[in-house]
Structure 1
């Protein structure tokens, strides 16, 4: 069950706390407020705010959820010592920081980019953190019989090796 459905909190108060911290540390009379909407295409009907509407993400009317974000922009730039980081590097850094901070999590899930990140997989294995990371069909997997493509290994398994489990009720029932 997601933490936000169990937690008792005041979303407006949290928003105000974050805003106040930003103004305290970044406040600048020459700053600018920038507003922008971002859309996510959605197939189900259980997510708040989903309806057929225009979303720039698709460039057309789609079943989607549109969020409106207000950004506080100042003259402050990115510090010169800040190096570029790829999505896999940022992902690993964020997960490690969360786990090091004691964020309780039974599993880490990620997409194909995350599954291809050997450093992330090794870090999660070293921490004995449960994880499900997608991999490309041509991802190489080392087994006792050698190194094989992921899709070839899956193709060798008999149908009885699979057990279908529900990840919970979704827009189309249990899946």
Structure 2
């Protein structure tokens, strides 16, 4: 019984962490494709940078509301909203034929990350036994910290072998 609860908790933390991880991976991978996107959409790099800036603005604007959301919604509800927002954003960006649609997709992904990031740490702090909180916080932080290392590699591979749409398309089954 205790082991089953531990496994469910670990699965929940990994699932929420994976969502945050994917958001950051796409963010850093997309930065690699900025030159490709400027050519594809015939727009200046300063406009393409809004894909990262907009994502970060939405995400970081929502993070402080994590506690507020947790008081009003169940963890599973917030996780589902976050997953749905990330999936919708990824689908929009995957099949976008205009810059504004890609930006809309990224903003939806920012909503997802703004919910998922504090959610993961709240689950750790509220549900993990006190003597294991440090270990789980470390694992959660490691997942987040590892993403910026993976993103540019992922972006470079996609840019060299496929087109930028696949940065998003490949994530759909993972979500």
TM-score after normalising by structure 2: 0.21
Write 1 or 2 for the structure with the bigger share of strand. 1
Q: Report 1 or 2 for greater relative contact order, CA contacts < 8 Å, sequence distance ≥ 6.
A: 2
Q: Select the structure that is richer in helix.
A: 2
Larger-Rg structure: 1
